[in-house]
Amino acid sequence: MSDTAVQPRRAPARPTGTVSGPPGRTPGPLTHTAVMTARALRLSSRNIDALITSLALPIMLMLIFVYFFGGAIDTGSEYDTYVMYVVPGVLLLSAGFGAATTATAVSEDMKGGIIDRFRSLDVGGTPVLAGHVAASTVRNLCATALVFGVALLIGFRPAATWSGWLLAAAVLIAYIVALSWLSAAIGLLARTPEAASGFTFFMSFLPYPSSAFVRTESMPDWLHGFADHQPITPAIESLRGLLLGQEMGGTPWIALAWAAGMLTAAIAASGTLFRIRTR
């Protein structure tokens, strides 16, 4: 009998730089994106101040416009009350506020050095950014549900068909995703989280020079043209018409085209900026 001890067979060594997973298999981009989304949601749940602000501010603005200014604003005879006119604009305003926090989160990641750790684990830039965008979408949908619930309490009465509800949801989600990707690109462009927060001001400002709170016909001529042809106005008009059961024509498709264009440009810009920042 041989005196040589039988050595246990060792599993092949895992290549360095990979995340844990089943032997012989490396997690793909979808797995990385899911993990990054869960991480971003956990970070959001810990930032209570920003969470409360993104939820409470649109509701406060809606209440201010409805009860302080609503009686002095003429929105036409087709709207029984001002709340019926203003709610779609507040929904887009809420989307802008919620998406803006993505820029700060991305900028904090770039500044804190966590991106280098992710890259050492073979996690690319796309899953990291997509995780932030997915988390932003979840947060925005929760905020939208809350704003919509308050709107129902103060007198908003939608008259949408099932197809109208589905198309309105598609328009709203498309804008949330597009604005969140745009915010992610801004977070890569900014050098500090504070700068990122300031750069996203225009996303929160765009609903004001639109048809969100007043008819664009009531604005000065130079502002009227901008309000009619900026990307937020078709989305607001689409939500208003779909939720209230009005004839919309091709406005929802114009809104979706704007969202698709913004999304494409934001994804391309964020990919380029991520490569520049991580050289």
**Domain-embedded: residue 2:** no
Evaluate if residue 224 carries a pLDDT over 60: yes
> Do the domain assignments include residue 16?
no
Judge contact between 83 and 66, C-beta under 8 A: yes
Each residue's pLDDT tens digit, 104-117: 889 988 887 788 78
Q: Residues 17-29: what's their mean pLDDT? A: 54
For residue 158, is it within any domain?
A: yes
- Classify residue 268: in a domain, yes or no: yes
Res 222: pLDDT = 87
Quick: pLDDT tens for 52-100.
777 788 888 889 888 988 878 877 767 778 999 999 999 998 888 888 8
pLDDT in tens, 189-201: 988 888 888 888 8
- Total number of domains constituting the chain: 1
How much is the mean pLDDT over the chain?
Answer: 84
Q: Evaluate whether residue 153 is within a structural domain.
A: yes
Confirm if 27 and 21 have CB atoms less than 8 A apart: yes
Is residue 96 in a domain?
yes
Domain that holds residue 90: 29-277
**Confidence band (pLDDT; 50, 70, 90) for 171?**
very high
Residue 94 is assigned to a structural domain of this protein:
yes
Q: Does some domain include residue 224?
A: yes
Task: Give the best-scoring range by mean pLDDT among 4-18, 105-119, 211-225.
Answer: 211-225
Q: Model-level pTM?
A: 0.84
Arithmetic mean of pLDDT, 34-47: 86
